[in-house]
Amino acid sequence: MIIPRKAIQNVKPYQAGKPIDEVRRELGLKDVIKLASNENPFGPSPKAIAAMKKYLVNVNRYPESGCFYLRQALSKKLKVKPENLIFGNGSDELIILALRAFVGEGDEVVVADPTFLIYGIASGVQGARVKTVPTRYFKYDLKAMKKAVTKNTRMVFLCNPDNPNGTYVARYEIEEFLKGLPENLIVFIDEAYSDYVQEKDYPDSLDYISRYNVIATRTFSKSYGLAGLRIGYGVSRPEIIKYMETVREPFNVNSLAQVAAVAALKDKKFLAKTKKNTREGRSFFYTELGKLGLRYIPSVTNFVVFEAGNDTDRICKKLMKQGVIVRNMKAWGLDDFIRVTVGTEKENKRFIRELRNIIA
């Protein structure tokens, strides 16, 4: 009998949201919309598409392992040195690389509960002891998370804005949290949804990388609409990046992802339109969910979590049968809640229409 490593025997694998084609196959539906995985319904950028088409004839060659052109573009945009950057197959890979480099078996990792599930899963695979700290009113309790840090803690994960709650931690809260942490502790700040935030007290974690042991990560999967290409990046001090590069696999970011990301960075109009449409769609959800008497968590992201009570399972299943995929939040311990991604105007109206019919 094959027996896996002890560390992974009790790890539950991540269950991704159902893709559109799978729902079509299972239910025999033609018209299916997906509002479950916080993707960009408006993308990708036409410039990114054009760049990929132009580069297709070169895919017989291995990709640029160091992401040279993307590194140069982001270095200029973010005003950091090229050696401050590392690239991954989505920001998920950067989570894994950070854990590989700095967390060993038996070390402690501190995460919020609920938060992005990959933090706990990847830490468990690494053999780390995961300490969870409950959120308060759907927001990170940084004071409690700081108290959870011990001499054995090697990493703290902060998702800002947070998935699944859609809330954020303010600048003064982050800065107070960072003060006085152990010198051998790394704070991993996941900013996958940062492009959607307008609040003035939202912190830019790049301000902290020179003063603290901070790894900040961002992705092209959300606002840039390149989720299917899997491309993310991390920013930190060169000595931290160096160790992550040591455990990075070669050619981890494919060629099309690299050229698409470079082109997407240049399309400022597309990004601005995405943000505008997302804000409008989010406001529409607030209004319509309120009319239906459903409580929601105010969000700064491209998704909204709302309370459906004991009807959660029934609503999700009925929406699926009507060709509308949303996310049941049971996996996060939020049994009475549903998460819905902001879609196009047409998709948003269809979701509300189907939801209204179900709960009427």
Q: Look at residue 10 in the predicted model and tell me its pLDDT.
A: 86
pLDDT tens digits, 85-131? 999 999 999 999 999 999 999 999 999 999 999 999 999 999 999 99
**pLDDT, the chain, mean:** 97
pLDDT tens digits, one per residue of 303-336: 999 999 999 999 999 999 999 999 999 999 999 9
The answer to whether 40 touches 225, Cβ cutoff 8 Å, is yes
Nearest residue to 316 via CA among 12, 22, 19, 35: 35
Q: pLDDT value at position 37?
A: 96
pLDDT value for 284: 99
pLDDT of 206 above 90 = yes
* Strand residues in 185-279 grouped as ranges (E): 186-190, 214-219, 232-235
Percent of the chain at pLDDT > 70 equals: 100
Paired tokens of 333: 């311990």
The fold of the 6-43+269-359 domain, in CATH, is Aspartate Aminotransferase, domain 1 (3.90.1150)
Of 37, 58, 12, 60, the closest CA to residue 219 belongs to 37
Distance, CA of 186 to chain centre: 19
The pLDDT assigned to 16 comes to: 87
Q: Where are the domains of the chain?
A: 6-43+269-359, 46-266
**9-67 pLDDT, tens per residue?**
888 888 888 899 999 999 999 999 999 999 999 989 999 999 999 999 999 999 999 99
Q: What does the pLDDT read at residue 170?
A: 98
Verdict on whether the full-model pTM lies above 0.85: yes
Instruction: Give the contacts of 204 (CB within 8 A, at least 6 positions apart).
Output: none
> Is residue 277 predicted with pLDDT exceeding 90?
yes
> Given this chain, do its domains 6-43+269-359 and 46-266 carry the same CATH topology?
no
Average pLDDT over residues 219-230: 98
pLDDT value of position 43? 87
| Mean pLDDT to the nearest integer, 231-246 | 98
Per-residue confidence (pLDDT) for residue 318, from 0 to 100 = 97
CATH match for 46-266 among 3.40.50.10800, 3.40.640.10, 3.30.70.2860, 2.40.10.10: 3.40.640.10
Output Rg (C-alpha) for the chain, integer angstroms.
20
| CA distance readout (Å), 217 to 97, 159, 160, 225 | 12, 10, 10, 17
Q: For the residues 258-271, what does the mean pLDDT come to?
A: 98
Q: At residue 74, does pLDDT exceed 90?
A: yes
pLDDT (0 to 100) of residue 197: 98
